[in-house]
Each structure stands twice: as C-alpha cells, then as structure tokens.
Amino acid sequence: MNEVLMEVQDLSKHFTVETSLLGKPVSVLKAVDGVSFSIDKGEAFGLVGESGCGKTTLGKILVNLYSPTNGKIFFEGKELTALNEKQRRSYCKDIQMIFQDPYASLNPRMTIGDIIAEPIIINHLLPKSEVEERVIYLLNCVGLARHQRNRYPHEFSGGQRQRVGIARALAVEPKLIVCDEPVSALDVSIQAQVLNLLSDLKSEFGLTYLFIAHSLNVVKHISDRVGVMYLGQLVEIAPKRELYANPLHPYTQALLSAIPIINPEKKKERIILKGDVPSPINPPAGCHFCSRCFKEFEPCKLKAPVLKEISPNHWVSCHLF
Amino acid sequence: MAKDYESNSNKNLIQAEEYVEKPESQLIEMWETLRQNKAAVVGLIIIGLLTLIALVVWASQLMGKQILPYDPNFSDMSQSFVWPNAQHWFGTDQLGRDIFSRVLDGTKISLSVGVAAVTISLSVGVFLGALAGYRGGRTDAIVMRLMDMMLAIPSILLAIAFMAALGKGLDKAVIAIGLVSIPEYARLVRGSILSVKENDYVQAAKVIGNKDSRIIFKHILPNIMSLIVVRATLGISTAVLDTSALGFLGLGVQPPFAEWGDMLGRARGFIFNAPYTLIFPGIAITITVLAFNLLGDGLRDALDPKSRIK
Amino acid sequence: MLLEVRNLTTEFKLKRGTVKAVDDISFTIDKGEILAIVGESGSGKSVTSLSIMGLLQKPGRIADGEITFKSQDLNKMTQKELRKIRGNQISMIFQEPMTSLNPVSRIKDQIMENILAHRKITKKEALARTIEMLDTVGIPSPAERANDYPHQMSGGMRQRVMTAMALSCEPELLIADEPTTALDVTIQAQILELLYRMREKFHMAVLLITHDLGVVSEAADRVIVMYCGKIVEEADVKSLFKQPLHPYTVGLLQSIPQIDDESDKRLYMIKGMVPNPLRMPPGCPFSDRCDSCMERCTQEMPELQEINGHKVRCFLYDKDMEGELNAK
C-alpha cells in the first residue's frame, strides 16, 4: 500500500530581501533550499525544525499560498507546478491546511457554522439544502455540539477553535492535510485532546498528514516517518522508531537531547549547541550546520552534503556518511 | 476510538452550554459602549435633530407647503438688517430675508452635500485602496503615487481647481469635494488591508479556494469596516466645512439658495453693524461639524475592541 | 527564608463580575532555591509574579495578603519604594524578549541604566560591569555586541541580554516568567543551563513560572502546581514527578508526549476544559474534569493538606478519610 500521494522535487522558495537600484537581488532569503521528499498515501509525515528552518514556508507552498521559485510538486502523479492558477486552485479540494494560531485562523465576523460551510459552498460540493447537515456532521466529528454552529469564534476557547479549524479543513474531504504546528499555541492538557483527535480522524477518514512541528516529542505519537529540517534543507529522514533510536545527523542528535525529560532521576547528557541559528539570508557555502556542529571536520565548510540513503529508508545529509 | 471522543464531547457540550455567553451581536455591544460616551450621545442627538429639520423642510417644500416661518428666499428690502426680535428670531440679512428660515433651509443642503461627497470619496477610495493593498507590487505603487500627488495639494485649492474645471454650482461642488478626499480613504483602506492580509484567517480563505475578489469582500473588508465608518463620520464634518468654505468663496451654491458658507461670505462686510448675519450661520456650521466629530470619536472608541467595556 | 507570600488574593473587577485570579495562596522561597510555579492559562501563575513585583495594572488589584521580602511587606510599599527593589534585589525576566527591550535604545544603555539607578558608580564603571555581565551570560564579543540594538540580535541572544540586565545588580531573587516558551528547543537548553550557572555563581533564588513540565523537571528544586488561582499541589521536584498526588498533576504528566515513551497508544487526555472564571463550579475547581471526582468534591473546597512534606488539595487525601489515604 505504498502508493506515493505527494512528491516534492528539489523545491526552493527564495525571497528577495534587498535589491540594487537596478532591481537586481542583492540579498536573498532562501527559506526553502532544494528540498526533495515524498509522502505516501495514508502516512503521517512529521516535519520538524526550529524557527527559520523553512518548514512553515514549505507547508504553505504545498497549499498554494506561495509559489515555489524552483522545483516540482507532484500530486497523485500530476505535476502541480505546471498548472495555471485556476487549475491549481481546483486542487484545494484535495490539499488542505490546519493553522497554528487558533485565535487568528478564524474570521471573527463569521459564525463557526459559516466558517465550516464556506469551503463546501464555494467549491460547489453539495446542493444548498445538504450543506447544513454536513456542517453538523463535521462539528460532531471534532467533538462540538450542533447548536454551537451559530456562535462566533470569540465565544470559544483555544482548543475548541482549533477543532473548528480542523472541521473546516475536513469539509472538502481532502486527501492530504498540512498541519502547521496545530498544537503549539494550546495548553498542555488540551494538546493531548487535539493530538488524539487528529489521530482518530486520520484513521476514520483515511487521511494523509504532513505534520509540522518545532519539537520532536510532539510528532512522535502521530508520525510514521519524520524529516528534520535545518535552514531550508532536509538533513535527515527516517521512519519514526529508527530516527528516535538511532539519529545520525548531529543536529537531530542535538534536537533530541535538548528535549527535557520528565524524570528528574534520569539526568541526561545534554548536547548544548554553540551559537545561534544563523540567518537564512545568504547562507554560507558548504554545510549549513557546520558553524554549530560539534562533529564538524574538513569537508564541512567547503562542500554542501547531499541527502543519501544510508540504511533502508534512512536518509542523511552529512559528510560523516 | 471516535466514540471515546463522544463522551468527552458530551462533557464539552455541558461545558459549552455554561461557558458560552448569549450570542450578542457586535452592533449591540458597540451601541452599549457608545451609550456610555456622553459626548457622542450629544453629537448623535444633534445630528438627529438636524436630519429631522432637513427632512421636514425638504418634504414640506416638495409638497408645496411652507413650514418655515418665512420663505427663505423672500426678500423684503424694508425689513433689511433687522436685529433679532420676536418676529425674526435671528434677524434679517442685507436683502431683508429672515435669517432663521435661511439657516434652517441651509441644513438640508449642508447635510446632503456632506453625505453625498463622502459617498463619492468612500466608494472610489475604498476600491482603489483595496486594489493597491491586496495586489501590491506595481499596482500598489502606481495607485499610491497617484494618491500622493493629490495629497500634495491642499484640499481647498484642489477643490477650487476641480471647480474651475467643472464649473460653478452645488452639484459640481459635491463632486469636487468628493474627489478631493479620495486619497485619505484609499490610504486608510490600503493600510488596513496590509495589516489584515497576513492574518491566518485570510490565508485560510485562500487555502479553501476563494478567489481574490471574494476574499476582499467577504473576509477583509468586514473586518476593517469599523475604521472606515469612523473615518466617514469624521469625513462628513470635513465635507460640510469644505462646502462652507467653497460657499464662502462664492464657488458652491448659487444665489438665491441658502447655504451657510455662502451666507457667511456675503455677510463679510457687515461684521460690525450687523454681526447676527454672520453669527448664526457660523454657529450652525460649528455645531454641525462638532456633532459629527463627537459622534466619530465616540464610534472609534466604541468599535475598538480593546476599549469596549466588557 | 527570602520571600514569604501569605494568603495572597488578587482580583480583577470586570463589568460582568469580579474574577479572583489568585485565590488565597501561600508559599515561601529560601535563599538560593529554585521554585517553579506550574499551571496553564487561567491558573494565576503570571498574576502571582506581577503581584509580587507590584506590577499589576487596573482592573487588577491585590485584595488581601502579605508579601514579605526580607522582613518587609512589599504589598504595603509605595511604587517609589518598590522601584528601589526592582532590578536591584528582585529582578524579573519575561517571556517575550523583543517586547521587553526598548527597540530604540542600545543594549549597553539599557543595562547601564539599570545599574546606575541602583548603584552610585561612574558611567565608566557601569559600562565595565555591563560588558562583564554580557560575557557572563555567554554573549560572544561582548564589548562589540553591547553597542547593538535589540533587533540586531536573535531571540536567544535577547533573552540572554534580558538575563544580563536582570542580574546586573546581583539580585537575591530572580522571577523568570516563562523565559523559554518563545524560544526554540536548542536555545531553551542554553538558557536553562545559563540560569543554573547563575544560580551557582550568585547564590540567588529563582521563581520560575512556566507551563512546561519538562523545564520544571530539569531546572527546579521545588514545584507548586496551580489551577484556577489555587495551589493544588506542592512538593520537591523528585517527589512530584515520582509520585504526583493531585489528579490534575497526574493527568498533566500523563498527557505530555514523552520522548522516551515506547508505546504508541493514545495520549491520555484530561477531559473538558478550564472553567470560565466567572462561572466556577462550586467546590473543587477541578471537579468537573476529574476522573476520581466524588460527591463531596462538587460541594466543598478541599483544604491544602500536608503529607510528609508533600502538600495537596484534594479530598482523596483528606486526613479525615483515613481509608482513602492510600489512594495512590
């Protein structure tokens, strides 16, 4: 059942920060810099990285909020990047997004019933008479009551609003949902509720997820495979168990070790990375991570490493391998 | 699995029943806050009164009945420059016309010009501002440079320039005043759109497949409406003032119509012997402008969600 | 004992009613100790720290209680007197370093301002101290970076600058309100390690406010768990994590996705959500979400009981109900 649903080839997104007087780009922000990977049908692919790594930008490219500067995207075999605007927009029925901030992702002037109904209506998915039924059904799927559909977003808590966002994403019956840090703005006790909900919905509707997060512990429960990004590039991809048990890239190791363990008995050996995340504007040649890497050696500053398959399904981009 | 959820959702149901307030429409909340602002309420009452006067006068004139104490255009030279007394509450002007009746008659002109001019500025300004704000890039640059050019010239001068091109008359004055204020609305709308555009819910609207035009009308504009409403209310007062200014200069209303600015203009020379010819139209302008300003300020406070009394 | 808070109650007078953000809490902090206050939104933890520092804004006000710092009641002091203490003996660092630093002022000026407000030394000496502090908190090339503006630095660096500013007068108590929440995981590790080092070097006490139990586990000596304005559990960190007593603490610990959790089963979740502070259920505030809720819980508020140095507010541990003492 390893049918590829979405494939990304050498995807890049560059933002011009400064131009010379004649309009030539002087400094370029390479938010996403040559990323390639694929997501199988029914899989949950966790994409992890810290701020500035480009994971959110990548997610936004997939849902057509940004157009890529370079590279190709294939969905069910069709090349999306070759389509015109109108054709590309029709794919919104297949690829949807759940946003990070529950307080900003719902239009404060619309009732939540209208918010959930909108995608159905503008895509002409159901006759008018059946829309309300479907909205009620979706509300139930995410654990909200039918009478709440006439309320406004400000009357709900963060966790409930996030559920509305999920219901909206589900409304068009998409095949792939990009979850952009859906729980980071929520309280800890609510995070578990929402993570469980996402898990259940995936099984119930046969969804595929690209689950974006900034920390490895959040994606652990929900992902099948995990990819780690740093400064616009993918540095490691592996099936979940493999990544957590045997992280190969020094950055992945540092990320894992930085997560506090809830057990004061187990004092662990912390890898503290030196320095800060460098700016994605005009990144250095060679490996992007070498300035902070604790295992850096000769070739790191000179040449950029490429993503190679080291063991079955385990890919790393590092000169150590 | 999802069933597990249902029992939780029942808990949520009960929670939600208790937690959620009765859905108050935003208008009602706004009204509550406005009511607390005494100044704004005063402004509202005055505007209400003025509107009433204007409507009554206009309706009666339409029906051919004379509701004012005197015909505002009736000139009785034997009664010129009469000081305010029991028959002529505001006195009479240089042509023996009753000032009180003329002031009341002028209400309908001032209000209607104010509203008409703002309507013009609003519709064109909002459209241009939305275009510039949402599209960005070159469209933005072109539109805003055009607006900058208009803003570089003082509004009165610009209005006069427009009038020179259009000719004299009240309707031309309305158009001129309307055109002059377009850049302000364009700027306001553009700025608001730029800040609202990046909100997640606008992005979400795009992701679910909305076309640009629908995003602007359904998602962006309703959320910046409050700013526009406040600006428009204050804009009416500016328009009234501009009308008076043009009238004062002899460019707006043509005789014999009663318009406050025009009345002021013609009475310029009589400031010492017959100050009442200036005072009453002047007070009328002041009160009207003040009323709209008070209401506009009150609306702004009422529509600002942070200052709303919760 | 450095700081003692007794029966602190802070309320907010809103149009729809009065909300007790902090409801009769008491705790102490000893010299050199790291005490963590853990809670989610609505727990009152941030309001507690603001109350201690006298930084509450209308409509909030301290309704009752004493805040004794070295035998002085902070609650009874004027703002002028409090200013002598703030930045000097008690310092604070906040969650968002960008909004806490003045964007139009150089780093060195901001830190020097704090030093000169509390110490009678020359500007030259203050600058030297500033650079020394920047070096201590781990800013590379401190003499040059001191001339930077906040926007020229990354989030992690700014948090270090905040820390340098807070520590510049060697305070005895540092209040850190969610110092790492806005930072990346790897930077968070750096900042926590920094706090630890500072504690060792200056022997200062830290009041660490956070919602992140992982941070607590790594950094704290003692922990207080707050829920809806009340303290529901208090213990030293080892005891709390080894044997959490209050159902809320238990639920919280179980619902966090653990990195070393091998099983793939569903995350435990606490059902329901934090009640509306204007409409608190009678009795225990946690009653409607608690798996072990008994009838008594919905009617009475349990008292804070102490069991072997471990405090808990729950009827499951009520000393009157002997049979239930071994509930866990």
Question: Using one digit for the tens of pLDDT, what is the confidence trace for B226-240?
Answer: 788 888 988 888 888
C272 vs B contacts (CB less than 8 Å): 8, 11-12, 15
A16 touches chain B (CB under 8 A): no
Could you tell me if C32 and C161 lie in one domain? no
Same domain, C4 and C150: no
Domain boundary residue among C136, C153, C168? C168
Q: Are residues C313 and C207 in the same domain?
A: yes
Same domain, C192 and C327: yes
Question: Residue C47's closest CA among C59, C30, C60, C34?
Answer: C60
Strands C72-73, A314-316: pairing is unpaired
- State mean pLDDT over C237-266: 81
Among C120, C145, C168, the domain-final residue is: C168
Q: Which residue among A189, A244, A262 places its CB closest to the CB of C217?
A: A262
User: Is the bond into C59 cis (omega within 30 degrees of 0)?
Assistant: yes
Q: Is the per-residue pLDDT at C42 higher than 70?
A: yes
Residues on chain A touching C244 (C-beta within 8 angstroms)? none
**B38-62 vs B276-303: helix axis angle to the nearest 10?**
120
C239 and C252 in a single domain? The answer is: yes
Is pLDDT above 80 for B21? Answer: no
Q: Which chains reach chain C with 3 or more Cβ–Cβ distances below 8 angstroms? A: A, B
Three-state DSSP at A30 gives strand
What integer is the mean pLDDT of B264-271?
85
Average pLDDT, chain C: 86
Q: What is the pLDDT of residue B173?
A: 83
Which pLDDT does position C157 carry in this prediction?
84
- The domain spanning residue C237 has which CATH number? 3.40.50.300
Same domain flag for C83 and C38 = yes
DSSP-derived 3-state class of residue B255: coil
Q: Which residue has the higher pLDDT, A61 or B15?
A: A61
Q: Which residue, among A221, A123, A238, has the nearest Cα to A173 in the 3D structure? A: A123
- pLDDT above 50: residue B6: no
Higher pLDDT, B8 or B236: B236
Identity of the residue numbered A273: L
Global confidence as pTM: 0.80
| Residues C114 and C153 reside in one and the same domain | yes
Neighbours of A313 (CB within 10 A): 11
How confident is the prediction for chain B on average, in pLDDT? 81
Q: Is residue C67 part of a domain?
A: yes
**Looking at the complex, does the CB of residue C124 fall below 8 Å from at least one CB of chain B?**
no
Task: Spell out which residues of chain B touch residue C275, defining contact as CB-CB under 8 Å.
Answer: 15, 19
User: B287 — phi, psi (to 5°)?
Assistant: -60, -45
Is residue C293 over pLDDT 90? no
Closest residue of chain B to C270, computed from CA coordinates? B8
Contact between chains at A144 and B205 (C-beta distance less than 8 A):
no
Calpha distance A96→A208 (Å, rounded): 11
**Is the pLDDT confidence value at B5 over 60?**
no
Domains annotated for chain B, with CATH where assigned, are 28-71+90-303 (1.10.3720.10)
The answer to whether residue B9 neighbours chain A at the CB level (below 8 Å) is yes
Residues C37 and C66 placed together within one structural domain of the fold: yes
Provide mean pLDDT across the span C95-112: 86
A185–chain B nearest CA distance, Å: 13
How far is C229 from chain A, CA to nearest CA, in Å? 16
Q: Is the pLDDT of residue C318 over 80?
A: no
pLDDT score, position A53: 86
Residues of chain A with pLDDT under 70: 1, 19-23, 264-268
* Edge-to-edge strand list for the sheet holding C173-177: C90-93, C173-177, C205-210, C34-38, C222-227, C230-236, C310-312, C305-307
| Domain encompassing residue C318 | 1-89+172-258+265-274+302-328
The Cα of C178 is separated from the nearest Cα of chain B by a number of Å equal to 25
Which is higher by pLDDT, C327 or B259? B259
**Residue A223 in contact with partner chain B when CB distance is under 8 A:** no
Are the C-beta atoms of A83 and A164 separated by less than 8 Å? Answer: no
Identify the pLDDT of residue B2.
34
Q: What is the mean pLDDT of residues C190-216?
A: 87
Whether residue C283 lies inside any domain: the answer is no
Extract the tokens encoding C184: 């990346």
Give the pLDDT confidence score for residue C267 in this predicted structure. Answer: 78
B20 versus C182: which is more confidently predicted? C182
Whether residues C234 and C197 fall in one domain: yes
Partner residue opposite A107 with nearest CB, options B6, B8, B201: B201
Contact B16 A104 (CB under 8 A): no
Rounded CA separation A100/A165 (Å): 10
CB A145 within 8 A of CB A170: no
Residue C292 lies in a domain: no
Q: Does C264 touch chain A (CB under 8 A)?
A: yes
Q: How far apart are CA C162 and CA C157, in angstroms?
A: 9
> Could you tell me which residues are beta bridge partners of residue C236?
C222
Mean pLDDT confidence for C179-186: 80
Q: Which among B284, B307, B233 is positioned nearest to B33, based on CA atoms? A: B307
Kindly report the backbone phi and psi dihedral angles of residue B72, in degrees, each rounded to the nearest multiple of 5, phi listed first.
-60, -20
- When divided into structural domains, chain C yields a total of 2
Nearest CA in chain A to C242: A263
Alpha-carbon distance values, C29 to C70, C172, C207 (Å): 11, 11, 8
Task: Please tell me the predicted confidence (pLDDT) of residue A268.
Answer: 66
Return the CATH class of domain A4-94+208-316.
alpha beta
* Total Cβ atoms within 10 A of residue C253: 18
- C229 belongs to a structural domain: yes
* Mean pLDDT to the nearest integer, C147-173: 87
Sequence ranges of the domains in chain A? 4-94+208-316
The pLDDT score that the predictor gives to residue B16 is: 36
Task: State which of C168, C183, C218 marks the end of a domain.
Answer: C168
Contact C276 B18 (CB under 8 A): yes
Classify residue C50: in a domain, yes or no.
Answer: yes
Contact C37, C211 (CB under 8 A): no
Of chain B, the percentage scoring pLDDT greater than 90 comes to: 17
C276 in B contact zone (CB under 8 Å): yes
d(CA C299, CA C210): 30
What's the token pair of residue A52? 């500035």
Query: C-alpha distances in angstroms, B168 versus B247, B249, C187, C303?
Result: 10, 11, 70, 84
B235-249, C24-38, C115-129: least confident range: B235-249
Largest Cα–Cα separation, chain B: 97
Q: pLDDT-derived band of residue C299, with 50, 70 and 90 as boundaries?
A: confident
The pair of three-digit structure tokens given for residue A172, joined into one six-digit string: 């068009």
Q: What is the mean pLDDT of residues C231-256?
A: 90
B238 φ, ψ to 5°? -65, -40
Contact check, Cβ <8 Å, B15/C272:
yes
Binned at pLDDT 50, 70 and 90, residue C320 comes out as low
Q: What is the amino acid identity at position A97?
A: M
Quick one: pLDDT band at residue C265, thresholds 50, 70, 90? Answer: low
Of the candidate ranges A263-272, C83-92, C139-148, C248-257, the one whose mean pLDDT is the lowest = A263-272
Q: Which pair of tokens denotes residue A35?
A: 């990323």
In this predicted structure, the answer to whether residue B285 has a pLDDT above a threshold of 70 is yes
